[in-house]
């Protein structure tokens, strides 16, 4: 097979076959190079906006370097909003100062980019302002909830329960809470933990009136964030023992508190007609 014959062998591009174009680019290669579709180049050829300089022996379009340069100029004007007919007139008018024209358009484009960037910043601020959930900075969270608090816990909670109706309730309620509200919730939580630890050390029995009262205080506190049923509270009681994060947190309040609190919650749930072992998140 001769070298000339090899030059005429088809090259498969996608689902179409085009012969090699030794003195230019076929329409498929030109389209891929500049980032437009073959159909677009066919249309531009049909309206005489960009006519390929040559053809292969089989009749395929062949684009020269100058043709490709013209395509790039068309793309620049099109990006600036010029209609194709106006672009054709500018490119074909020998009296048009193309460089000066582009310089002016570049200045306008830079101004447009600046305005768009300002708009993006404004939208970002609006999105942040309307974002549901806790409206406290990480520094405020640590100040209110203590040095052991990790702001990332909020993100982990959202990832874990973000699709639930209860998380939607929390997000809506938390978005309305001020730093003072959070301080009050933190103080209420601390007071409850102290009373739970005191009762645990004193040997208060799960199911007793005192223990049931503590369980209800615990459920009411949870209901600040979402409507917590006795069944949901029982599910959380199981997690206080099985989940290392919860278990460690309550263990730090008082040794053995996770298991005792679970038992207190279970006994109170049973008094309300809920089977804690089979309780569902409902």
Residue 8 has pLDDT above 70, yes or no: no
- Is residue 231 domain-shared with residue 147, that is, in the same domain? yes
Q: Which residue would you say has higher pLDDT here, 125 or 109? A: 109
Task: Give the whole-angstrom CA distance, residue 75 versus residue 81.
Answer: 10
Cα torsion through 242, 247, 251, 254, rounded to 10: -80
Q: Is there a single domain that holds both residue 79 and residue 116? A: no
CA–CA gap between residue 145 and residue 253 (Å, rounded) = 14
Residue 126, token pair as written in the block: 């609006």
CATH number of the domain residue 79 falls in: 1.10.1660.10
Q: Is residue 51 part of a domain?
A: yes
Q: Is the pLDDT assigned to residue 124 strictly greater than 90? A: no
Whether residue 9 is found in the same domain as residue 32: yes
pLDDT recorded at residue 118:
73
Residues 143 and 245 in one domain: yes
- Between 97 and 147, the more confident residue is 97
Are 106 and 224 in a shared domain? no
Rounded to an integer, what distance in angstroms lies between the CA atom of residue 243 and that of residue 23?
70
Task: Tell me: do 151 and 264 sit in the same domain.
Answer: yes
- Does residue 4 or residue 270 have the better pLDDT? 270
Chain segment 129-177, per-residue pLDDT in tens: 444 455 555 555 555 555 555 444 455 555 655 566 777 777 777 777 7
**pLDDT of res. 138:** 57
* Count of beta carbons in the 10 Å neighbourhood of residue 206: 18
Q: Are residues 189 and 225 in the same domain?
A: yes
Banded pLDDT at 11 (limits 50, 70, 90): very low
Statement to judge: residues 105 and 86 lie in one domain: no
- Tens of pLDDT, residue by residue over 186-196, are 888 889 889 99
Q: Are residues 69 and 112 in the same domain?
A: no
DSSP-derived letter for residue 12 is: E
Which stretches within the chain are classed as H helix?
3-7, 27-34, 38-46, 65-79, 84-92, 98-129, 138-145, 152-161, 165-175, 179-202, 209-222, 230-242, 244-253, 257-271
* pLDDT for 14: 38
Please tell me the distance from the alpha carbon of residue 57 to that of residue 21, in angstroms, as a whole number. Answer: 9
Angle of the 98-129 helix axis to the 84-92 helix axis, nearest 10: 150
For residue 160, is it within any domain? yes
Provide the β-strand partners of residue 25: 63
13: phi then psi, degrees, rounded to nearest 5: -125, 105
Residues 6+ away with beta carbon under 8 Å from 91: 49, 70, 73, 74, 98
- Determine whether 168 is exposed, middle or buried from the number of CB atoms within 10 Å of its CB (0-12, 13-18, 19+): middle
Same domain, 143 and 259: yes
Percent of the chain with pLDDT over 70: 76
- Domain match, 143 and 45 both: no
* Local confidence band at 279 (pLDDT 50, 70, 90 cut-offs): confident
How many domains, in total, are found in the chain? 3
pLDDT 10s digits, 215-274: 999 999 888 878 888 998 998 888 888 888 788 888 888 999 999 999 999 999 999 999
Q: Kind of pairing, strands 61-63 and 16-19?
A: unpaired
Looking at per-residue pLDDT, the higher value among 110 and 40 belongs to 40
Please tell me what DSSP assigns to residue 254.
S
The answer on pLDDT for 1 being more than 50 is no
Q: Is the pLDDT of residue 205 over 90?
A: yes
pLDDT the model gives residue 148: 57
Domain that holds residue 259: 138-271
As given in the structure block, the two tokens for residue 128 are: 């942040």
Q: Give the pLDDT of residue 200.
A: 93
On whether both 126 and 197 belong to a single domain, the answer is: no
The per-residue pLDDT of the chain, averaged, comes to: 77
For residue 14, how many other CB atoms are within 10 A of its CB?
9
């Amino acid at each position: 097979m001769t070298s000339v014959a090899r030059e005429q062998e088809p090259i498969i591009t996608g689902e179409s076959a085009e012969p090699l174009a030794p003195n230019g680019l076929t329409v498929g290669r030109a389209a891929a190079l500049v980032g437009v579709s073959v159909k677009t180049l066919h249309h531009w050829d049909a309206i005489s906006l960009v006519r390929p300089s040559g053809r292969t022996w089989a009749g395929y379009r062949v684009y020269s370097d100058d043709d490709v340069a013209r395509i790039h100029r068309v793309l620049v004007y099109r990006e600036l909003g010029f209609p194709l007919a106006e672009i054709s007139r500018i490119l074909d008018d020998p009296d048009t100062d193309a460089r000066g024209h582009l310089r002016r358009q570049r200045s306008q484009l830079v101004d447009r980019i600046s305005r768009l960037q300002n708009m993006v910043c404004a939208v970002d601020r609006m999105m942040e302002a309307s974002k549901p959930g806790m409206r406290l900075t990480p520094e405020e969270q640590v100040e209110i909830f203590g040095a052991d608090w990790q702001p990332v816990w909020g993100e982990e909670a959202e990832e874990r329960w973000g699709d639930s109706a209860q998380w939607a309730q929390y997000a809506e309620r938390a978005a309305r809470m001020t730093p003072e509200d959070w301080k009050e919730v933190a103080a209420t939580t601390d007071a409850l933990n102290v009373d739970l630890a005191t009762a645990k050390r004193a040997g208060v029995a799960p199911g007793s009136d005192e223990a049931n009262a503590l369980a209800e205080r615990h459920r009411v506190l949870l209901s600040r964030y979402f409507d917590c049923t006795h069944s949901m509270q029982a599910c959380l009681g199981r997690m206080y023992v099985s989940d290392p994060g919860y278990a460690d947190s309550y263990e730090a309040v008082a040794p053995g508190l996770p298991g005792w609190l679970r038992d207190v919650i279970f006994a109170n749930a049973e008094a309300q007609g809920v089977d804690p072992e089979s309780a569902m998140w409902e």
